[in-house]
């Protein structure tokens, strides 16, 4: 009897030991999962930033170990690359350089240094933006994006090219004439509002047959005061950043090879063909010169989009 009891006790001890070991393995696995980042996408930049007072700075993305190096929170640092991390690519980290060494910090802890006067104006106003107002029309055809994922791969920027028009007049014209023109965009953006009239889960028809199957598209009616123009640019940058973030896409200017996520209609004409429009180049440059005595290009817009993206 005593031998049987001893065997049962030893068996219980073995089971208990196995259970403890399994629990330890699970705990280590959970700890490792929370202390590492899987990098799914990255892209180079050339930006200057300051760090927030609460920023945590890491030696690497693989270990997520905080550095012992002291950082001057009032100094500026160069960012040379962003990383989209995690299974959903929804966490963004920046690689900063200090004394020739690379460190990593979450993008929400960065403050981009703006050099363009309009971007500075927006940054000083603490990056304002309107909320996205969805008034989806049933008039427009719903066609799936022709991408492997069925999702858009970027955003195209338009301006209406019409002086003194409004969002309401532009939307009314687009809806009434769609049967004849077969042209529409997803959203209109002015100084006060971001009006989404077509479901961005489906393609628009505003940039020609070679580009329509791949991009979210928005139009900008013209603005005529410095404040209104800057607010419109801010709303446009926010809307672009929002859609890139929603689709786990990086902030990359379109290029002649067809890559990139942020496009002007003019760039589509040059690199994709199927259209000859040159917007919003003239609208941006003319308004920026007249209202702010500066220039404004897609390169300036990309930096502003990244600033909004970093805050999301």
Give the model confidence (pLDDT) of 290-307 as tens digits.
999 999 999 999 999 999
Q: What is the mean pLDDT of residues 11-28?
A: 52
Reply yes or no on whether the pLDDT at 69 is more than 60: yes
Radius of gyration of the CA atoms of the chain, in A: 25
Query: So where are the chain's domains?
Result: 39-112, 117-310
Query: Domain 117-310 maps to which CATH number in 3.90.79.10, 3.40.80.10, 3.40.50.360, 2.60.40.1760?
Result: 3.40.80.10
Alpha helices (runs of H) in 36-116, residue ranges in sequence order = none
Q: Among 1.20.120, 2.30.30, 3.40.50, 1.20.1180, what is the CATH number of 39-112?
A: 2.30.30
Q: What is the pLDDT of residues 73-98, one digit of tens each?
A: 899 999 999 999 987 778 999 999 99
pLDDT in tens, 195-216: 999 999 999 999 999 999 999 9
Is the pLDDT at 36 greater than 50? The verdict is no
Of 167, 187, 302, the closest CA to residue 241 belongs to 302
Contact status, residue 125 vs residue 186, Cβ threshold 8 Å: no
pLDDT at residue 87 in the model: 74
> Given this chain, do its domains 39-112 and 117-310 carry the same CATH topology?
no
The string of DSSP letters for 190-201 reads -SS-EEE-S-TT
| Nearest alpha carbon to residue 220 among 242, 198, 188 | 188
State pLDDT tens for residues 218-241: 999 999 999 999 999 999 999 999
Q: Find the angle CA(166)-CA(171)-CA(176) to the nearest 5 degrees.
A: 130
Query: What is the pLDDT, as a whole number, of residue 35?
Result: 42
């Amino acid at each position: 009897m005593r031998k049987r009891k001893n065997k049962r006790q030893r068996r219980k001890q073995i089971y208990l030991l196995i259970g403890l070991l399994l629990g330890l393995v699970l705990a280590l696995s959970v700890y490792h999962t929370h202390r590492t980042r899987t990098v799914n996408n990255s892209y180079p930049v050339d930006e200057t930033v300051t760090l927030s007072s609460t920023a945590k700075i890491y030696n690497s993305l693989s270990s997520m170990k905080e550095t012992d190096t002291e950082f001057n929170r009032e100094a500026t640092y160069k960012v040379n690359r962003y990383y989209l991390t995690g299974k959903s690519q929804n966490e963004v980290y920046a690689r900063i350089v200090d004394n020739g060494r690379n460190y990593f910090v979450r993008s929400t802890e960065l403050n981009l240094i703006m050099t363009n006067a309009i971007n500075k104006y927006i940054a000083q106003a603490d990056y304002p933006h309107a909320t996205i107002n969805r008034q989806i029309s049933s008039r427009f055809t719903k066609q799936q994006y022709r991408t492997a994922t069925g999702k858009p791969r970027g955003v195209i920027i338009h301006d209406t090219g019409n002086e003194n028009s409004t969002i309401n007049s532009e939307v009314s014209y687009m809806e009434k004439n769609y049967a004849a023109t077969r042209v529409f965009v997803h959203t209109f953006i002015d100084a006060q509002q971001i009006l989404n009239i077509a479901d961005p889960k489906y393609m628009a028809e505003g940039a020609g047959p070679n580009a329509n199957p791949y991009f979210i598209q928005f139009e900008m009616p013209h603005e005529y005061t410095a404040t209104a123009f800057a607010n419109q640019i801010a709303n446009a940058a926010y809307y672009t950043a929002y859609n890139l973030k929603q689709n786990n896409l990086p902030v990359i200017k379109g290029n002649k090879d067809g890559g990139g996520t942020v496009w002007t209609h003019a760039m589509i004409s040059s690199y994709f063909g199927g259209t000859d429009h040159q917007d919003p180049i003239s609208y941006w440059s003319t308004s920026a010169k007249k209202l702010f005595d500066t220039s404004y290009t897609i390169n300036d817009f990309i930096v502003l989009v990244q600033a909004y993206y970093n805050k999301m």
